Amino acid sequence: MSGFLVSTKINGDAFQFACPSEETLLDSLRNRVGLTGVKEGCGTGDCGACSITLDGSLVCSCLVLAAEADGREIGTVEGLSDGMKLHPLQEKFIEHAALQCGICTPGFLISAKALLEKNPKPSEKEIRYALAGNLCRCTGYDKIVRAVQAAAKEMRKK
Amino acid sequence: MSHDTSYTKQKFKLIGSRVNRPDGIDKVTGRARYGADASAPGQLVGKVLRSPHAHALIKKIDTTKAEKLPGVKAVITSADMPDLTGGNRSMLDILENCMARGRALYDGHAVAAVAAVDEQTARQALKLIKVTYKRLPHVTDVDKAMLPGAPVIHDWVFTSGVDPKPEKASNVVQRNQFGHGDVEAGFAEADVIVEKTFKTEQTHQGYIEPHACLATVGPDGHGDLWVTTQGHFHFRQVCAALIGMDVAKLKVTSSEIGGGFGGKTHVWMEPVALVLAREANRPVKLVMSREEVFKATGPTSSTSVDVKIGAKKNGTITAAAAELRYQGGAFPGIWGMLGAMTSFACYDLKNVQSVGYDVICNRPKVAAYRAPSAPMAAFGIESTMDLVAEEIGMDPVKFRIKNAAKEGTQASYGPVYGPIGIGPTLKAAQNHPHMKAKLRKNQGRGMACGFWFNFGGQTCTDLNIGVDGTVSLAVGTVDVGGSRASLGLIAAEELGIEYEQVKVHIADTASLGHNDTTEGSRGTFSSGMATIFAARDAKDELCQRAAKMWDIPVSAVAWKEGKAVAKGKRHNNLAPLTLKEIAAKSPNTGGPIAGHNEVVADGAGVSFASHICDVEVDPETGATKVIRYTVVQDAGKAIHPDYVEGQFQGGAAQGIGWALNEEYIYGDDGLLQNAGFLDYRIPVCSDLPFIDTEILEIPNPNHPYGIRGVGETSIVPPLAAIGNAVSNAVGVRMTHVPMSPPRILKALDEAGV
Amino acid sequence: MRFESPTTTKEAAALLTGELGDAYILAGGTDLLVRMKLGLIEPALVVDIKKIPATQEINVSDKGISIGASVSGATMSEHAKLNKSWPGVVEAANLIGSDQIQSRCTIAGNLCNASPAADSVPALIAAGAKAVIVGEQRRRTVPVEKIITGPGTTSLQKGELIESILLPKQAARSADAYLRFIPRTEMDIAVVGVGINLTLARGVIQSARVVLGAVAPTPILVAKAAKAIVGTKLDAQALENLAAACSDACDPIDDKRGTIEYRTRVAGVLARRAAVIAFKRAGGA
């Protein structure tokens, strides 16, 4: 086993950690950085619970080596709200009861944010396909799609 | 105050409103802590070695190399988990399922476990354990497992419920029969009889959070278990018994739970984590991989079901019979029995008989999955109902309405129904705009009904009022779908305060008396009942304190709309005291004010639903898409409509996945081929339409607020609703679930469509 | 495990050559990390090629369009000229996984993973794409159909890596299309995939390449299928012949994703549908 020193910016703050070269970014974020809002549902890129942004693009952190994150910027669910102010997606997820168990919620929020940044006025179909990489087993996606629609509307007002 | 469980028609102020859930912020900010999110100082990583064979003798396990690997702190096998069950075979089954005892019974069965300083070392240690297997013949199909000559998995299983008692062991655990009347006579009266055999494949609950726990046990025999579970009290009891701990010395805390649907009602690896922790005298975190979740936790049964229904041309069912064969995995279960009980529960039948068989196979031990066993039975029966309706030329909804059970009907499984929702949900479905919407080419509409018993059970809550007048409510039922919001509403309603003044907690096993597992849709029903009674106790105490503050007899104090009021002309100079005012004075009027309740919540009202579904089938590929879906279900009383709708939608979505694509695929070698989300194929967001819901409220007479459980029934109708819709879309009757594209295309070919 | 991120292709080739243990190339990682997670491989060396400028670019020239080996599916979908010239290749690349996977997955990786069901490969072969392969000693350009030799195996030598994929300049009145069948609407591996590229002359198909995926150990270029539609205006008979030729060419397996019978049948269905799309795109009527 050989180690690797990773210097990153996480949710805007500089952060350094050392890890074995084969460690995934998901494991590092959870076990070394302490950001357990990033969830592991499968470890193979099929459920999206570990979604984060890496230099602004949406990825599954289980499919990224921590070593790859060296010199790059990471965004996680822990960085979504601005102090006391929740992100509109966070607000709408609560308001629309778009979560039941909530384990998939961090991943959905990150994916939905990535979608709305690219496409502020997505159709229902566009929302459904953009979120297809995030599995939810509780809600049947109904209230999640509605929450994203409501957040999009809210964000367009600004 | 009253602990009467009877429903009283009361006007609600808060019940039925859509407030924000108390755990919402934690869950949208990533702060909520689930099974794998806790850590402890000095914690080790636990890992489990699993059988690569479907059925094999374990001749030898050599752990010496693993033990010598630097960083390995414990290596255990079944030898480290002795049988302390004192002849209790069902407890021994649990222990044996946690760790194989001389024989691996299915692909993925645990055979050894390690605890090491880190992930890499633990992985390495597993590789150093050498297991010598001798492969044995296996069987994974339920019908094949019942045949004479099938490999008999346990030599101690003799079919019960048959006469004479068998002398030879077999894979058939038990036969259970339900019903009444004379089915033969009933069939003789029928103008039309339809008989059909159906098959359903095994599915998994598919919760997104894998099983995870953090276990600590000290040399003094005290332990802590942080675990994702639907029933931490049950876990405590089972773990303590299996590994020889005193129940009171093991504190179990239920983490936030990332989905369960029945799959987290049983222990799978928690006793292993505790033994590892005890051996190492260090905390051990054990987290399953997704592959382990599929292979080694408790999916639902695969089944094979024969249905026979006879009816007169006027639509009256004269007799109905079913034989249901349920595969229960490597250990005895009750799944065939439950299937047989639920089979004909929707209908008012003069002559009915259902026979259920529980069958052992070389597959993981089956666990509950949302209304366990009911969807498969409903697939057979509700599909056959459509076939009979077609034969007699009657609209399938009308046919069902004509035969629907009602108050006073003797259920096929025994009891006589009180007020129930099957008729009303059918009529609501019949009148729903969805029923009249136009369909295009290759589209079809189907409907089906579903039933679930619901459960109440042992429940214990604590309601504590702070000096500032806010309320903390501790409950022991795990919140699997938003019940904290519902229970907060109930406490606030009962006390006459604002919802925001109540905070609901899920208490650990050291803080409350025993609570049964959150299963059987019991969370809001039973903890709701206990909360009402605890609040009523608190109100009694509040009245006492008000009496003290006023210096009048307590008999002259009543609780009205959140305030203590002094009764009678003599006291009309006394202004009412609010809860807040009384609480503020509590240190001087007798100390803290609390309410407490323990109850066995009996009288869970049975639940019924009717679903409508439109599908579009691509006749060239067999691909089926659900294009519209409506759930109509009786909730008794919807405490928080958002989360009631959420249950309806989530159950329907799981049923849709089951109907179309989800299945355990075993090879001839008895190994599971699709132990991952990629090839197990649960529905993704783009697979589904919005799922419309209609909540009916037919109060449960056995609950003060009329609550019925709502969590499970919604998974029961989709299999048949989709089968009926496919039949109406492209003219083929699907009898095998999932109705995957290859199966539909094959059926189309065979039908020459 | 050693992790290296060289900045030239040659350097990467040297690292791969020099490693005695199992060495793997990391571009998108969407296959590599899955195999590591499932314990199927334990690399001694992983070479991340994303810091190599030559692998990061999409270059348009007179010869065609070159797509660097670490260009993601998402980047491809945002490239206007690429979309215009080779919509079939782009749609095939974009079918790989979710948006999360799209941010990372590459067509070079899809090719090197050598799955019979790889989505982008039939489209690349139909397009006549070539792979630019760099080794420590030499550089060679090889038609994509020569790369995959069987499930999970390629003709790449130890120490070689793909630097870029070269799509030829699309001819006039030509277009490509790719369709696949999956049981769900997203997130599945192709049960059958069909890539078609065709050129029209006066409304008649002059030439065509038809490639099937997931119906044989490797993607297959079906000459008979092309022959079935060349010289036609894609009338009903031509489509039927195309479907029959495609079904004939199938040599699939029964597995968890589909049956032999099903794959064989649906290959023909999808070929018809893909041909119609390509034909329309090329201006056919």
Residue C147's pLDDT band, with cuts at 50, 70 and 90, is very high
Query: What is the per-residue pLDDT across C160-170, written as a single tens digit (0 to 9) for each?
Result: 999 999 999 99
Are B494 and B572 in the same domain? yes
Average pLDDT for A9-15: 97
Whether B629 contacts B449, CB under 8 Å: no
Are C194 and C235 in the same domain? yes
Phi then psi dihedrals of residue C45, to 5 deg: -140, 135
Residue B259 at interface with chain A, using a CB cutoff of 8 Å: yes
The beta-carbon neighbor of A4 closest among C3, C50, C72 is C3
Query: What is the per-residue pLDDT across C15-70, written as a single tens digit (0 to 9) for each?
Result: 999 999 999 999 999 999 999 999 999 999 999 999 999 999 999 999 999 999 99
Domain boundary among C147, C168, C189: C168
- The predicted pLDDT at position B1 comes to 54
The region of weakest confidence among A57-66, A117-126, B151-160, B744-753 is B744-753
CATH number at residue B109: 3.90.1170.50
Domain boundary among C117, C133, C168: C168
Residue C98 at interface with chain A, using a CB cutoff of 8 Å: yes
Are B469 and B519 in the same domain? yes
- The number of folded domains in chain C is 2
Range of the domain at B106: 35-136+210-257+264-296
Would you say residue B484 lies in a domain? yes
Are B663 and B540 in the same domain? no
Would you say residue B593 lies in a domain? yes
Residue in chain C closest to B742 (alpha carbons) equals: C262
Q: Is the pLDDT of residue B744 over 70?
A: yes
Domain boundary among B555, B576, B601: B601
- The predicted pLDDT at position B695 comes to 98
Are B464 and B448 in the same domain? no
Average pLDDT for B37-44: 97
Average pLDDT for B718-729: 98
Query: What is the per-residue pLDDT across C98-127, written as a single tens digit (0 to 9) for each?
Result: 999 999 999 999 999 999 999 999 999 999
Is C97 close to A133, i.e. CB distance below 8 A? yes
Buried b vs exposed e over B237-264: b needs ≥16 C-beta within 10 Å?
Answer: bbbbbbbebeeebbbbbbbbbbbbbbbb
Type of residue at A97 = A
Q: Token digits for C139? A: 């550089």
- The predicted pLDDT at position B561 comes to 87
Q: What is the DSSP string of B242-260?
A: HHT--GGGEEEEE-B-S--
Apex CA A133: angle with CA A38 and CA C110, to 5°? 105
Phi then psi dihedrals of residue B354, to 5 deg: -135, 135
Chains that touch C (3 or more CB pairs under 8 A): A, B
> CA A82, CA B95: separation in Å to the nearest integer?
49
Q: Which of chain C's residues have a Cβ under 8 Å away from the Cβ of B621?
A: 181, 266, 269-270
CATH number at residue C137: 3.30.465.10
Q: Which of chain C's residues have a Cβ under 8 Å away from the Cβ of A65?
A: 3, 26, 29, 33, 46, 48
Interface of C to B at Cβ within 8 Å reads 37-39, 181, 183-189, 191, 255-259, 261-262, 265-266, 269-270
Chains that touch B (3 or more CB pairs under 8 A): A, C
In chain B, the percentage of residues whose pLDDT exceeds 90 is 98
CA-nearest of B19, B15, B7, B24 to B495 is B15
- The number of folded domains in chain B is 3
Q: Is the pLDDT of residue A1 over 60?
A: no
Domain boundary among B601, B634, B650: B601
Whether B613 contacts B445, CB under 8 Å: yes
Are C273 and C202 in the same domain? yes
> How much is the mean pLDDT over chain B?
97
Angstroms from A64 CA to nearest CA on chain C: 7
CATH number at residue B546: 3.30.365.10
Domain boundary among C111, C146, C168: C168
> CA B295, CA B227: separation in Å to the nearest integer?
20
Q: Which of chain C's residues have a Cβ under 8 Å away from the Cβ of B674?
A: 256
Are C144 and C99 in the same domain? yes
Q: Is the pLDDT of residue A2 over 80?
A: no
Query: What is the per-residue pLDDT across A41-56, written as a single tens digit (0 to 9) for each?
Result: 999 999 999 999 999 9
Domain boundary among B558, B580, B601: B601
> How much is the mean pLDDT over chain C?
97
Helix axes B270-280, B232-243, angle to 10 degrees: 50
Q: Which of chain A's residues have a Cβ under 8 Å away from the Cβ of C97?
A: 45, 133
Is B30 close to A47, i.e. CB distance below 8 A? no
Residue in chain B closest to C262 (alpha carbons) equals: B742
Angstroms from B674 CA to nearest CA on chain C: 7
Are B425 and B460 in the same domain? no
Q: Which of chain A's residues have a Cβ under 8 Å away from the Cβ of C29?
A: 63-65, 68
Is B687 close to C256, i.e. CB distance below 8 A? no
Residue B571's pLDDT band, with cuts at 50, 70 and 90, is confident
Whether C89 contacts C83, CB under 8 Å: no
Are C180 and C143 in the same domain? no
Q: Which of chain C's residues have a Cβ under 8 Å away from the Cβ of B665?
A: 256
Residue in chain A closest to B24 (alpha carbons) equals: A94
Are C25 and C151 in the same domain? yes
> CA B178, CA B460: separation in Å to the nearest integer?
34
- Please, what is the end-to-end C-alpha distance for chain C in angstroms? 57
Are B369 and B443 in the same domain? yes
Is C184 close to B687, i.e. CB distance below 8 A? yes
Are B467 and B581 in the same domain? yes
Query: What is the per-residue pLDDT across C178-207, written as a single tens digit (0 to 9) for each?
Result: 999 999 999 999 999 999 999 999 999 999
Helix (H, G, I), strand (E, B) or coil at C130: strand
Is A4 close to C99, i.e. CB distance below 8 A? no
- The predicted pLDDT at position B572 comes to 82
Are B434 and B364 in the same domain? yes
Are B309 and B441 in the same domain? yes
Q: Give yes or no for a cis peptide into B164 (omega within 30° of 0).
A: yes
Is B621 close to C255, i.e. CB distance below 8 A? no
Phi then psi dihedrals of residue B102, to 5 deg: 85, -20
Are C93 and C188 in the same domain? no
Q: Name beta bridge partners: B287.
A: B212
Q: Which of chain B's residues have a Cβ under 8 Å away from the Cβ of A77?
A: 28-30
Helix axes B528-550, B483-495, angle to 10 degrees: 30
Whether B389 contacts B448, CB under 8 Å: no
Average pLDDT for B562-573: 91
Q: Which of chain A's residues have a Cβ under 8 Å away from the Cβ of C72?
A: 57
For residue C13, give the DSSP letter: H
Are C110 and C181 in the same domain? no
Average pLDDT for B25-52: 98
What chain A holds in terms of domains, given with CATH numbers, is 3-79 (3.10.20.30), 88-157 (1.10.150.120)
Q: Token digits for B459? A: 């429940």
Are B626 and B655 in the same domain? yes
Are C31 and C157 in the same domain? yes
Average pLDDT for A116-141: 98
The CA-based dihedral angle spanning residues C144, C147, C150, C153, taken in that order and rounded to the nearest 10 degrees: -140
Would you say residue B441 lies in a domain? yes
- Please, what is the end-to-end C-alpha distance for chain B in angstroms? 67
Phi then psi dihedrals of residue C35, to 5 deg: -70, -35
Whether C70 contacts C50, CB under 8 Å: yes
Are B612 and B628 in the same domain? yes
- The predicted pLDDT at position C285 comes to 84
Range of the domain at C150: 2-49+57-168
Is A40 close to B676, i.e. CB distance below 8 A? no
Whether B646 contacts A97, CB under 8 Å: yes
Residue A158's pLDDT band, with cuts at 50, 70 and 90, is confident
Are B439 and B406 in the same domain? yes
Buried b vs exposed e over B685-720: b needs ≥16 C-beta within 10 Å?
Answer: bbbbbbbbbbbbbbbbebbbbbbbbbbbbbbbbbbb
